[in-house]
Amino acid sequence: EDQVTQSPEALRLQEGESSSLNCSYTVSGLRGLFWYRQDPGKGPEFLFTLYSAGEEKEKERLKATLTKKESFLHITAPKPEDSATYLCAVQAYSGAGSYQLTFGKGTKLSVIP
């Protein structure tokens, strides 16, 4: 069974204080690892897809990296508007031509001005 564990569950940062969120996973046949951002009461917003170990992707203050067992979401000099829950998900083949996402429970990030 595919498993995704995110840590920490919650993180409070001062504005400008860089940090990293962790996503560790066990999956048979990883097709991709996804990062989403979710604001309260809203739908998950797609951020990145990573496909192979060593791959990195960046968007503004966010950079996602991938190893064979985990992914990190690095946040550089965060701003209050970066406050959200960040979700990690692994995509794997589930049969009948279907690929499914298994989500972690997320890291709730709060950036204090």
| 9 interacts with another protein by CB under 8 A | no
Rule CB under 8 A: say whether 1 interacts with another protein.
no
Distance, in Å, from the CA atom of 43 to the CA atom of 34, rounded to the nearest integer, reads 15
Q: Which is closer to another protein, CB of 78 or CB of 106? A: 106
With vertex at residue 4, the alpha carbon angle to CA 54 and CA 12, rounded to the nearest 5 degrees, is: 85
Binding mask 78-97 for another protein (x = CB under 8 A): ---------x-x-x--xxxx
With beta carbons less than 8 A apart as the criterion, state whether 11 and 106 touch. Answer: no
Q: Which of 13, 65, 75, 106 binds another protein (CB under 8 A)?
A: 106
What x/- string results for residues 19 through 58 when contact with another protein is judged by CB under 8 A? Answer: ------------xx-x-x----xxxxxx--x---------
DSSP tag of 81: G
How far, in Å, CA of 109 to CA of 8, rounded? Answer: 9
Query: For the chain, percent helix, then strand, then coil, each to nearest 5?
Result: 5, 65, 35
Residues within the interface to another protein (CB under 8 A): 31-32, 34, 36, 41-46, 49, 87, 89, 91, 94-106
